[in-house]
Amino acid sequence: MVNTGKDNVNTEMVAFNFSLKAATVAKATVEMLFLGRGVEAVNKNQQNSPQFKEQVDAALAAGIPLKACRVSLAMEGLDETDIFPGVEPVLGAVETNARIEDGYTVITFRSRPELIEVTPLQMALSVVSGLLVGFSLGLIGGGGSILAIPLLIYFVGFNHPHLAIGTTALAVGITAYINVIPHFLDKHVYLKEGAVFSLPGIVGALLGSDLGLLTPGKKLLFVFAILMLVIAAYMLRRKCVNAAAEPNVKGSVLKVAGMGFLVGLLSGYFGIGGGFLIVPGLIISGGLNIIEAVGTSLIAVGTFGVTTAARYAISGEVNVLVAGLYVLGGLLGGWAGAKLAGRMPKRTLTQVFAVIIIAVALYMLYVNASAL
């Protein structure tokens, strides 16, 4: 954020010069540039305004998205074609508008994920994190992957919220697709119900991921922590059921598709697999018993995860290396968890895990409370 002064473009020119060098020399990705009071200064043809207009043209030529404050344009009686052709007029967020009115230009930079250095220690911790997530999934099933994002941010030290969400979504999606295989061989996967649930969910996941990318990182983590508390409460309250028991509902295509869209929307927004939602969703809308729902749910978990990751990747918010390390750890942990699952009381394990989720969620709420 650069203080440009009410009618001064000099410091705004410094910001533009820095942005151009970052994009052309350092090969960084400049997400956008906002034009604030520079619009007013150029319109009044103040000193250095011709050079500033040249910088605007250079930024456009470099592929940097430029946006002009619609408020500033309106105050000058202008539209975007009068002064900066090719610049998108926007209202922006409330905070952005407030700062523009005070003479600020808001500049947001995002480093390319492949240029973010991942240390050998972080690589090792990524494998450990994947192992812990896979172990919890193999041990207790639905809800086990909820710790993937906080582990990557707070344990591995990958302090890029959107990048962490996109990366873990890819890892969870790939892991789910791999884990479909043994369930399919055991004839616990219903392809028709999985497809009907997943296809509308792709649309929901794309919409949800768009909303997630628009939400500031700390605020998204704060809301995610609330979701963690909801999941923990669900895990504490749910009862153990007979896996082979037939549900007392009759499935329908419309119910399955509608439930798929809603779950996909939530999965895309938070970057989670959503198994804890998908399994009951398939039982309620598809008429499957729980073991069939668990196996079939992996199709949707994989589809929603990969869809969310693809949308985040378009915005440069996926680190493939870290995702691969997570998958490696997840496969090892999942095997170990599945082996141990039959030897320990699942209800007790679920309750202990729920308490851990609550503790992590409370920590995340505390750390990210400033986002409100």
Please count the other Cβ atoms lying within 10 Å of the Cβ belonging to residue 335: 13
Phi, psi values for residue 67, rounded to 5°: -135, 135
Report pLDDT for 176.
Answer: 85
Number of domains forming the structure of the chain: 2
Residues 237 and 121 in one domain: yes
Looking from the CA of 352 toward its CB, the CA atoms found within 13 Å total 9
* pTM (predicted TM-score): 0.65
Domain housing 255: 115-371
Mean pLDDT of the chain: 77
Is residue 97 within 8 Å of residue 15, measured between CB atoms? no
Quick one: how many helices (H) and strands (E) in the chain? Answer: 16, 6
Residues 285 and 340 in one domain: yes
Segment 127-171, tens digit of pLDDT: 999 998 888 777 666 566 788 889 999 899 887 888 899 999 999
**Three-state secondary-structure class, residue 35:** strand
Q: Which residues contact 16 (CB under 8 A, 6 or more apart)?
A: 33, 52, 55, 56, 59
**Three-state secondary-structure class, residue 215:** coil
Residues 106 and 121 in one domain: no
* Token pair for 18: 């820095």
Q: What percent of the chain has pLDDT over 90?
A: 19
Report pLDDT for 123.
Answer: 93
Residues 163 and 98 in one domain: no
- The residue that leads in pLDDT, 165 or 237, is 165
CA-based nearest residue to 278, from 291, 305, 259? 259
Residues 331 and 302 in one domain: yes
End-of-domain residue from the set 110, 145, 178:
110
Query: Can you spell out the DSSP letters for 193-254?
Result: HHHHHHHHHHHHHHHHHHHHHHS-HHHHHHHHHHHHHHHHHHHHHPPP--TTPPPS----HH
Residues 88 and 155 in one domain: no
End-of-domain residue from the set 110, 137, 159:
110
> For the chain, what is the radius of gyration of the CA atoms?
24
End-of-domain residue from the set 71, 92, 110:
110
Is residue 33 within 8 Å of residue 67, measured between CB atoms? yes
**Three-state secondary-structure class, residue 25:** coil
> What span, in angstroms and rounded, lies between the C-alpha atoms of 91 and 94?
8
**Three-state secondary-structure class, residue 268:** helix
**Three-state secondary-structure class, residue 251:** coil
> What span, in angstroms and rounded, lies between the C-alpha atoms of 259 and 370?
34
> What span, in angstroms and rounded, lies between the C-alpha atoms of 231 and 103?
44
* Token pair for 362: 């409370």
pLDDT confidence tier of residue 214, bands split at 50, 70 and 90: confident
> What span, in angstroms and rounded, lies between the C-alpha atoms of 331 and 151?
17
Residues 80 and 105 in one domain: yes
Segment 85-129, tens digit of pLDDT: 667 766 544 445 555 555 555 554 444 565 567 889 999 999 999
Residues 97 and 176 in one domain: no
Q: Which of 6-15, 157-166, 181-190, 194-203 has the highest mean pLDDT?
A: 194-203
Is residue 368 within 8 Å of residue 218, measured between CB atoms? yes
Residues 166 and 56 in one domain: no
Residues 171 and 105 in one domain: no
Residues 200 and 234 in one domain: yes
Pairing mode, if any, of strands 88-90 and 66-69? Answer: parallel
Give the domain CATH number at 20.
3.40.1260.10
Residues 47 and 132 in one domain: no
